């Protein structure tokens, strides 16, 4: 009788282990292979591209103007680069930087992003945005728009590491890494970089030509991005040079609500500038 019970206990144990293994494998597989939704364009931006008040977000404007399905993966306050000085890959804010998200896209594993919780204001929609990214089939995305840089500038991210071109703790290294990740997932995807807009520090009565946050002036980041676009053979939209006609301090209200975030007129100008790429393509 005891021998029979021992055998039964062993069989139960083996069954439990097998069941756990099957469940774990199924869960792990589902976490890594969730992308099935087809969209034409994905926009990775910051708060310039998000909903503010009653204003229509730029990605929504692009969807209407270009008659394309567009997923807005923009998150306010996020950068292209990782900013945490301790260089830990599990830091919550860094995991939703551009480079953090594209690494997840490359492997189609958003486990880190789906498990972190960022305790900052205006981040409530981050989990929903990440879950939406996990549903997308990036092998079928036609266009990816990257509108990053203003927060990298404000955060003082180094522009580049001359010894390590793919250093994700630098502005250019993060974009290089992101483009590489996206092309590994989809070699045919069309990638468009969009530079930051001119900015004013209205409370201080200064503009971005007068403020260096530790990594250089905003124009330094823009010029570096323009050069990188040529290096990577991707398209670029320059929203800094020759975009806003008036850049004196008293004119910030023509285009923005606070010196940084575009108002309705500014958003429409940005939308039109991006759409120009597609209109030029149609004429050729």
Please list the pLDDT of the chain residue by residue as tens digits (284 residues). 544 445 545 445 544 444 444 444 444 444 444 679 999 999 999 999 998 888 999 999 999 999 999 999 999 999 999 997 665 555 678 899 999 999 999 999 999 999 877 777 778 899 999 999 999 999 999 999 999 999 999 999 999 999 999 999 999 999 999 999 999 999 999 999 999 999 999 999 999 999 999 999 999 999 999 999 999 999 999 999 989 888 888 889 999 999 999 999 999 999 999 999 998 766 55
Selection from 110, 112, 216 nearest residue 172 by Cα? 216
Task: For the domain covering 37-283, report its CATH number.
Answer: 3.40.50.1110
Do 100 and 73 meet the contact criterion of CB atoms below 8 Å apart? no
The pTM score is 0.85
CB count, 10 Å around CB of 168?
25
Domain boundaries, the chain: 1-32, 37-283
pLDDT at 18: 45
Q: Report the alpha-carbon distance of residue 268 to residue 273 in Å, rounded.
A: 9
| Residue 164 CA: distances (Å) to CA of 79, 174, 177, 225 | 19, 11, 11, 17
């Amino acid at each position: 009788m005891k021998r029979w019970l021992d055998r039964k206990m062993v069989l139960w144990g083996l069954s439990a282990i097998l069941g756990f293994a099957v469940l774990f494998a199924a869960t792990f597989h589902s976490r890594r292979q969730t992308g099935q939704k087809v969209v034409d364009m994905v926009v990775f931006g910051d708060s310039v591209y998000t909903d503010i008040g009653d204003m229509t977000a730029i990605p929504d404007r692009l969807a209407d103007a270009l008659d394309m399905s567009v997923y807005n993966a923009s998150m306010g306050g996020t950068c292209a680069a990782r900013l945490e000085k301790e260089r830990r890959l599990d830091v919550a804010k860094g995991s939703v930087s551009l480079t953090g998200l594209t690494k997840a896209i490359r492997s189609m594993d958003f486990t880190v992003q789906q498990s972190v919780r960022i305790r900052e204001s205006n981040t409530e929609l981050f989990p929903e945005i990440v879950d939406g990214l996990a549903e997308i089939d990036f092998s079928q995305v036609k266009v990816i728009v990257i509108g990053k840089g203003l927060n990298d500038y404000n955060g003082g991210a180094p522009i580049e590491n001359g010894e390590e071109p793919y250093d994700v703790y630098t502005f250019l290294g993060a974009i290089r890494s992101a483009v590489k990740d996206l092309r590994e997932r989809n070699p045919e995807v069309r990638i468009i970089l969009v530079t930051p807009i001119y900015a004013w520090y209205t409370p201080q009565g200064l503009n971005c030509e007068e403020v260096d946050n530790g990594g250089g002036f905003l124009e330094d980041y823009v010029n570096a991005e323009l050069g990188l676009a040529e290096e990577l053979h991707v398209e670029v939209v320059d929203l800094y040079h020759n975009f806003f006609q008036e850049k004196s301090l008293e004119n910030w209200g023509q285009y923005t609500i606070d010196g940084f975030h575009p108002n309705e007129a500014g958003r429409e100008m940005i939308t039109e500038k991006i759409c120009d790429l597609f209109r030029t393509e149609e004429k050729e």
